[in-house]
Amino acid sequence: MGIRAYAAGALAVVGGLLMLASGYTSRGFLYTALGFAEPRFSDFLSGAALGAAVVGVTVLELVIALGGLTVLAGGLMVILHHTTTGRVLIWLGGGAGFLGLLVGFGYSVYRLGGVDPVLAYLPYWIGLAMAIAGRRLAKGA
């Protein structure tokens, strides 16, 4: 295992820490956005489909809330010589974080009338970029 793998793991760990540090603020923002959509499910769905949609939103909220922790665990796995497992964990956490930022961005533009609130989550964006860079770097390690 070379320096490339350690650098990849370190990038992911730092990115995960940044996501965790700022994720608590964006989590409330994302929950508000998903909470805005959830009551409208009953307009289009009923019965088991409605229950499945509500469970899906709940799982999505949980994965997005734990995205930074998943990226952090993935970075540690890369450092501990489990590159494939680490890359999968970084992909899961980073993908959830990216989805959370997209939902947050859309909600901010739609409900709050601009992109200024999204800039408040700059540490989260930086952490997400570091996680993606760490995953790409781990690919060749």
Q: Say if residue 7's pLDDT is above 70.
A: yes
Range of the domain at 32: 3-139
Q: Judge whether residue 133 has pLDDT over 70.
A: yes
Q: What is the pLDDT of residue 100?
A: 67
Average pLDDT over residues 63-74: 79
Q: Quick one: what percent of the chain has pLDDT higher than 90?
A: 2
Instruction: State the total domains in the chain.
Output: 1
List pLDDT tens digits, range 79-124: 988 888 888 888 877 776 677 677 767 777 777 666 676 677 778 7
DSSP secondary structure, 69-137, as one string: HHHHHHHHHHHTT-HHHHHHHHHHHHHHHHHHHHHHHHHHHHHSSSSHHHHTTHHHHHHHHHHHHHHHH
